[in-house]
């Protein structure tokens, strides 16, 4: 085992190599102790898992560790991550959970897996995960097998809830295409659409942890080629694609792929006096436009960071460019791609024209995320050094209007901005650039990366 599996937002590593039997049992045991420390009367932790081939065995190892503390495991089986989160807010067959663990490798390659953890309706992340890792590394405790669980049907409760909340939708004259990417969106999507009488065509619906058709990451345009082909040939009104555990979404028309920050702008128009939290990679257009009729807050990247910030500010919702949308307005403040799908369909129900409204926005040029390889030891040091260099940049460096350091370094220039931040999950720097045109954006990119390399 390596400490590197304990990351800022969750625990993630390679099955058997890093997530081996003893390590996973200890994760269950020491996390359950943390639950009892905060909630001494805790009785239940809910556990669900994604489609990866090794997820069921990880559930058994995790359950054995949890049972050593005498907390019971409520077993949801194969579910989407939002269903796991949902269990924290309802009675699960009459039982109240104190914490939940979702076993998922999200959009990582098939050999990966991991754990997304919630304690008392709050993300368990950052320093708490790092401290958990320290305890596990230092411990030589032996944990015997005890894989007995209590089966619960949270998925049914979740489907019923969403169908009830969106029963007003009337979209009988429209049709839609969905790409589940062989992830767990396929465990709930069809029943919801059928019960809401929404015309649909679903591709790659069957959960398959080997992901035989394409990698389950809708933020990469290469993974959207199949759904784009369907859109172009099938006369669909909208297309939707999901990541492996169904907490991220892509929304597409024949002409456009709407990133999370653009979707945030669209959603915000239908919420009175909205407060919207965006991450540092979001377009300046999103912040400027929302501030005309509400309040936009720039904050750190990362699903756990944004969930905590929503609670702190009571924001309407939060969004990441990658497609995490966290609705607190009419929902629970966590990232749910299935719920976000229904909110996107609701805009059509209300007469919203996606292409037309997008074309009304100022047309800036934005690069995709560009990553730079580095090491875990160096990545934050490089960012600190960049902050110092920006205090006295070269004479030919573009004029700086502002420097935002909420998460890495976002340098605001006269006609755009550039971002360099250290990834919290992998040994890379992440960059993104936006400007009034491509030439200007690439100039900002060139100058900032030159400074980075000096």
pLDDT at 109: 86
pLDDT at 173: 94
Residue 106 catalytic?
A: yes
φ/ψ of residue 274, rounded to 5: -75, 150
Q: Is the pTM of the predicted complex or chain greater than 0.85?
A: yes
For 166-360, CATH number?
Answer: 3.40.120.10
pLDDT at 106: 86
Please provide the DSSP assignment of 419-435 as one string.
Answer: EEEE-SSSSEEEEEEEE
Phi-psi sector, 93: left (phi>0), alpha (psi -120 to 50), beta: left
Q: Where are the alpha helices (DSSP H) in 39-138?
A: 55-67, 81-86, 127-138
pLDDT at 317: 98
pLDDT at 453: 85
Domain extents in the chain = 3-152, 166-360, 365-453
Residue 421 catalytic?
A: no
- Distance CA(206)–CA(202), nearest Å, equals 10
Per DSSP, the three-state class of 41 is coil
Residue 269 catalytic?
A: no
pLDDT at 377: 85
φ/ψ of residue 319, rounded to 5: -150, 145
Of residues 55, 106, 283, 340, which has the active-site annotation? 106
Can you give the pLDDT of all 454 residues of the chain as single tens digits?
A: 678 899 888 999 999 999 999 999 999 999 999 999 999 999 999 999 999 999 999 999 999 999 999 999 999 999 999 999 999 999 999 999 999 999 999 888 899 999 999 999 999 999 999 999 999 999 999 999 999 999 999 999 999 999 999 999 999 999 999 999 999 999 999 999 999 999 999 999 999 999 999 999 999 999 999 999 999 998 899 999 999 999 999 999 999 999 999 999 999 999 999 999 999 999 999 999 999 999 999 999 999 999 999 999 999 999 999 999 999 999 999 999 999 999 999 999 999 999 999 999 999 999 988 899 999 889 999 999 999 999 999 999 999 999 999 999 999 999 999 999 998 877 899 999 999 999 999 999 999 999 998 6
Pairing of strands 249-252, 238-242: antiparallel
Q: Is the CATH code 3.30.310.50 the one for domain 365-453?
A: yes
What CATH superfamily is the domain 3-152?
Alpha-D-Glucose-1,6-Bisphosphate, subunit A, domain 3 (3.40.120.10)
Of residues 12, 107, 214, 432, which has the active-site annotation? 12
**For residue 406, what are the contacts with CB-CB under 8 A and spacing of at least 6?**
280, 298, 299, 300
Q: Are 321 and 279 in contact (CB under 8 A)?
A: yes
- Distance CA(262)–CA(426), nearest Å, equals 26
- Distance CA(146)–CA(2), nearest Å, equals 25
pLDDT at 1: 64
The number of angstroms, rounded, from the C-alpha of 25 to the middle of its chain's C-alpha atoms is: 26
Q: Do domains 3-152 and 166-360 have the same CATH topology?
A: yes
Which residue in 231, 84, 110 sits closest to 182, CA to CA?
110
- Distance CA(302)–CA(116), nearest Å, equals 12
Of residues 67, 248, 324, 421, which has the active-site annotation? 324
């Amino acid at each position: 085992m390596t400490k590197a599996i304990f990351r800022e937002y969750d625990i993630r590593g390679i099955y058997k190599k890093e997530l081996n039997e003893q390590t996973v049992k200890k994760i269950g045991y020491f996390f359950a102790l943390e639950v009892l420390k905060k909630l001494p009367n805790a009785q239940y932790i809910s556990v669900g898992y994604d489609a990866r081939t090794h997820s069921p065995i990880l559930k058994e190892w995790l359950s054995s560790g949890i049972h050593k503390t005498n907390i019971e495991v409520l077993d949801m089986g194969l579910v989407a991550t939002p269903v796991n989160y949902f269990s924290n807010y309802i009675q699960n067959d009459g039982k109240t959970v104190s914490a939940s663990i979702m076993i998922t490798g999200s959009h990582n390659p098939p050999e990966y897996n991991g754990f997304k953890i919630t304690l008392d309706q709050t993300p368990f992340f950052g320093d708490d995960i790092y401290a958990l890792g320290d305890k596990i590394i230092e411990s030589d405790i032996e944990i015997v097998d005890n894989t007995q669980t209590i089966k619960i049907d949270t998925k049914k409760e979740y489907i019923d809830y969403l169908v009830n909340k969106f029963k007003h939708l009337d979209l009988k004259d429209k049709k839609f295409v969905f790409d589940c990417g062989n992830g767990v969106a396929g465990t709930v999507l069809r029943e919801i659409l059928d019960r809401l009488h929404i015309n649909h065509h679903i591709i790659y619906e069957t959960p398959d942890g080997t992901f035989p058709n394409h990698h389950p990451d809708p933020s990469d345009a290469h993974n959207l080629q199949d759904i784009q082909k369907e859109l172009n040939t099938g006369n669909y009104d909208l297309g939707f694609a999901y990541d492996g555990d169904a907490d991220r979404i892509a929304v597409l028309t024949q002409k456009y792929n709407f990133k999370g920050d653009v979707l945030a702008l669209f959603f915000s128009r239908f919420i009175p006096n909205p407060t919207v939290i965006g991450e540092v990679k979001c377009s300046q257009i999103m912040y400027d436009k929302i501030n005309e009729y509400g309040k936009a807050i720039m904050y750190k990247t990362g699903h756990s960071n944004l969930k905590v910030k929503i609670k702190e500010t009571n924001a309407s919702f939060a969004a990441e460019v990658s497609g995490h949308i966290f609705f607190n307005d009419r929902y629970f403040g966590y990232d749910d791609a299935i719920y976000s799908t229904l909110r996107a369909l609701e805009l059509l129900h209300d007469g919203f024209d996606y292409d037309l409204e997008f074309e009304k926005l100022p047309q800036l040029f934005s690069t995709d995320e560009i990553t730079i390889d580095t090491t875990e030891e160096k990545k934050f040091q490089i960012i600190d050094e960049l902050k110092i260099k920006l205090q006295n940049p070269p004479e030919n460096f573009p004029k700086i209007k502002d420097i935002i350091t909420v998460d890495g370094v976002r340098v605001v220039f006269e006609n755009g901005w550039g971002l360099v931040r250290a990834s919290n999950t992998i040994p890379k720097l992440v960059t993104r650039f936006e400007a009034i045109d491509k030439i200007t954006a690439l100039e900002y990119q060139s100058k900032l990366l030159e400074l980075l390399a000096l």
